[in-house]
Structure 1
Amino acid sequence: MPRIRPVPAVVLTSLLLFALTAGLAALLRGDAGGGAFLGGYLGAWALFVAAVVTLRSAPARAVVPLVVAGAVAVAAVGLVAGPRTSTDSYRYAWDGRVQAAGISPYDHAPADPELRPLRDAWLFPGAAACERGGAELAPLGDGGCTRINRPAVHTVYPPVAEGWFLLVHVLSPADARHKGLQTGAALLALAVTGVLVAALRRRGDPRRAALWAWCPAVPVEAVDNAHVDVLAVLFSVAALLVVARHRLAGGVLLGLAITSKLLPAVLLPGALSGVRRPRAALAVLAGAGVTVGALYLPYVLLSRSSVLGYLGGYAQEEGYDDAGAGGRYVLLRLVLPDSWAPPVAALALAVVAVAVWWRGDPERPWRGALVTTGTAFLLLTPGYSWYALLLIALVALDGRGEWLGVAVAGAVAYLLGGDAATAAYAVAAALPAGAAWVRRRARERPDRRPVRPPRPLPVRRGRAPQ
């Protein structure tokens, strides 16, 4: 009987990537929603995990070409359809249009009658469309409607994000600005892949870059939905790679990340991992703080309203100040009264931040950043799946794939919510806890292999020295 040769790892990985991209394309071009969309999305995650596992067996010379080619294919999938599960990019397009007209995006809500001359049919459909209605249309007070969510409130996006929206507006065709946002986001996602590959090659394991490059969250949340989080991810990854050698430059990059999306502020303890010298810590803090202040200042001077916009209302709406609303703190609420959850979460985050700063590895600040960010997600249990893009990039830097469960839990919380979200976050919390226990046992287990005596050094024959 002829012997059946195993399928080469390169071929198997390529087939899995083809299946992944084909499945994601069908999912994004289809009309499935809720549980049906989540089922297809979880299937894509299964293919992603299988592809990452098979990549381990690929020859070293094939790893980088596979990672890069897969990154291009996976990112391109996000361009096959309009935004599927989020309408945030419509707000981005509006903020860009408002700025192009010389108006501060913080001064007016989209529903403000003063901005009626800027309305176009793409974002503000006509009366017929408003009468038909639809899940993506929000009513306006004057009887019209818009694709922009929360049209009665001011924007919450920080200045670098607003600058990105303006740049995309200038470079995009007027009738297809969502494609401009998607294309820009795809380029940013590929830039993150490039930075990861370059950094991880120097450290000897570029395979980990696939954890970002091939992750289904990238084409769905970063590209198709065009979330500005991907811009923050690029600056965050660069900051953590630079900060160990150049404290001030790392702080500046972290400031750029924070002014792209406020979430990267949680990376600060990681950026300070093991930094005991006051001058070094001050350089990081000053770089971040001065950058944030300098970038907000022009908008402060040009705006009549607060540059924080709807941020406080958003936090209240999402339930971050009240555990009884918004589905936040679901794991803490399993064991604590609702009113205890916010202060306990804040205290726990403070303890983790101090531990990361005091005991973290200054040569690998991304490890502390991953622990801090992952812990924050498990304590706060956010209901938006795109927040986890930052976490996924940190996993790629550090290699601890057990934290990817948090990203899956975020998708479950967003698409289903309720008890399903609680169960998903509980599983996500168990994965890093279980992995930490296994690693601890492996370190404590005595090595039972026999210890071989060292080989004797060769004896050189010849005359003894006189």
Structure 2
Amino acid sequence: MTRDRRPPLPVVVTALLLALLAASLTLLLRAAAPGAGFLAGYAGTWAVFAAAVVALRHVPRRFVVPLVLAGAVAVTATGLVAAPRTSTDSYRYAWDGRVQASGVSPYDHAPADPALAGLRDDWLFPRAAVCERDGTALAPLGDGGCTRINRPAVHTIYPPVAEGWFLLVHALSPAGVRHKGLQAGSAVLALAVTGLLLGVLRRRGDPRRAALWAWCPAVPVEAVDNAHVDVLAVLLSVGALALVARRRHVAGGVLLGLAVAAKLLPAVLLPGALSGIRRPRTVAAVALTAAGTVALTYLPYVLLSDGSVLGYLSGYAREEGYDDAAAGGRYALLRLVLPDAWAPPVALLALAAVSAAVWWRGDPERPWHGALSTTGTAFLLLTPGYSWYALLLIALVALDGRWEWLGVALAGAVAYLAGPVTGTAGVTAAYGAAGGLVCATWWVVGRGRHVAGTGAWPAARWCRPPAWGRWRRGCSE
């Protein structure tokens, strides 16, 4: 009797959905103009992504890792099909890399500074005729020219590990590739995150969860097409939490410090990295190692720079309204119930309380659980307006399996793409819906699947929602 070598039906269905997802992302990035149309198409890719992840539940285990990897390559590659679509940050990355390669500190001069005029080229600083023809997409300069770099009159904001990445990509990129060097480098980093997630989840959990990162539309759009440096911070952050979970606290602290020095946001992971650790020596090993690593990465730039290495950091905080709740769409949910002036201190106190609970009652074998709680809470409290910040959140969701937090990532995209039209009301509605999904899921799970006596922080005592099956020992079916 001949053995049937055809793949099981769930594998075929999942593969077809992945093909549809890759085709949809390619069409979105090549054809859709930024705005409402792009947001509608982007939402459609998220729907296909959700269907593919649900279909993966039924795939036999021996097919899971190859399917996740194949899907990761196909989905990630779609980010290479077009120039950056919804962000111009990568042009600043390219400029900072070029400036460093010339022997100048990126913190000493703004791109518009005439002192660096000799480094300008027609790609980043188009000729006057192009400025007149395409002025809406370019930032004007004081001399009548223009540039693709946003905020050309301010100094760079990026920390030293990010600057090192920009220099490395510049050095390795062939002349004339423009944005492709950064996109290709980011694609490699995104795939490295997938591989790291699979390595962790094959030992702790279910490798199916890696698809929550590997196939998520935010990865090709934000990490690859827009080439945001956040993906480097994500890779370092996942590595840090994996090492801490294996009780390699000093090495984990070093990676966490490097993650913070790539993008400041991973600083919110520290309480998660300290989950359930009560020994003062171990707490100090993680916290001080991370802080020391950040300081050491800044040191060469401090020695080589004539000015401050903090760049536009304080100006960015003011511009985004983080120091003034009345500005922009920050603290949108808190402002529904509190006076504007109260929102920043209440957000700080609430985040401190969650961080303390994560540290005191967290599970040291699953530091990503507490890290997801603090990071997700920070997003709901601060309601940031940039969608790529959520790349870190998506990786934590993949590690922990609490899919409900993906709504926060999608809310960030709504805030970024629709916020200029809808204003604060759109930001509030998007994050309000995401927060409602998180609360509703926790309520349902808490009522139906509570497992007593695990000793974990309260949210960790519950099994995952039914859509994800039995991912954690001790959960009842």
- CA distance, structure 2, for counterparts of residue 266 and residue 73 of structure 1: 31
Q: Which residue of 2 aligns with 1:293?
A: 295
Letter in 2 for 1:246: R
- CA distance, structure 1, for counterparts of residue 254 and residue 143 of structure 2: 44
Task: Structure 1 unaligned segments of length 5 or more: list them.
Answer: 1-5, 447-466
- Counterpart of 1:406 (choices 391, 405, 408) is 408
What is the CA-CA distance between 1:33 and the residue it aligns to? 2.1
Q: Which residue of 2 aligns with 1:149?
A: 150
Letter in 1 for 2:438: P
Q: Which residue of 1 aligns with 2:257?
A: 255
| 2:231 alignment partner, SS class | helix
Q: Which residue of 1 aligns with 2:444?
A: 438
What is the CA-CA distance between 1:38 and the residue it aligns to? 0.3
Letter in 2 for 1:362: P
What is the CA-CA distance between 1:431 and the residue it aligns to? 1.3
- CA distance, structure 2, for counterparts of residue 133 and residue 83 of structure 1: 16
Q: Which residue of 1 aligns with 2:162?
A: 161
Letter in 2 for 1:60: R
Q: Which residue of 2 aligns with 1:372?
A: 374
Letter in 1 for 2:202: R
* C-alpha distance after superposition, 1:52-76 (max 9, x if no partner): 0000000111000000000000000
Aligned in 2, Cα 1:98/1:334: closer, same or farther, shift over 3 Å?
same
Residues 4-403 of structure 1 correspond to what in structure 2 (within 5 A)?
A: 8-244=9-245, 245-403=247-405
- CA distance, structure 2, for counterparts of residue 187 and residue 295 of structure 1: 23
Q: Please say if residues 48 and 214 of structure 1, whose CA atoms lie closer than 8 Å, have aligned partners that are also in contact.
A: yes
What is the CA-CA distance between 1:420 and the residue it aligns to? 2.1
What is the CA-CA distance between 1:146 and the residue it aligns to? 0.2
Letter in 2 for 1:361: D
Q: Please say if residues 209 and 396 of structure 1, whose CA atoms lie closer than 8 Å, have aligned partners that are also in contact.
A: yes
- CA distance, structure 2, for counterparts of residue 238 and residue 284 of structure 1: 14
- CA distance, structure 1, for counterparts of residue 143 and residue 412 of structure 2: 36
- CA distance, structure 1, for counterparts of residue 275 and residue 444 of structure 2: 24
- CA distance, structure 2, for counterparts of residue 360 and residue 203 of structure 1: 16
What is the CA-CA distance between 1:32 and the residue it aligns to? 2.1
What is the CA-CA distance between 1:204 and the residue it aligns to? 4.3
Q: Please say if residues 169 and 177 of structure 1, whose CA atoms lie closer than 8 Å, have aligned partners that are also in contact.
A: no
Higher mean C-alpha deviation, range 199-208 or range 401-410: 199-208
Q: Which residue of 2 aligns with 1:456?
A: none
* C-alpha distance after superposition, 1:281-302 (max 9, x if no partner): 0100121011111110000011
Tell me the percent identity.
76
- CA distance, structure 2, for counterparts of residue 74 and residue 443 of structure 1: 34
Aligned in 2, Cα 1:444/1:25: closer, same or farther, shift over 3 Å?
closer
Structure (1 or 2) with the larger CA radius of gyration: 1
Task: Structure 2 unaligned segments of length 5 or more: list them.
Answer: 1-6, 453-477
- CA distance, structure 2, for counterparts of residue 37 and residue 431 of structure 1: 24
> TM-score when scaled to structure 1?
0.93
Q: Please say if residues 71 and 190 of structure 1, whose CA atoms lie closer than 8 Å, have aligned partners that are also in contact.
A: yes
| 1:340 alignment partner, SS class | helix
- Counterpart of 1:421 (choices 419, 427, 434) is 427
| 1:58 alignment partner, SS class | coil
What is the CA-CA distance between 1:175 and the residue it aligns to? 1.9
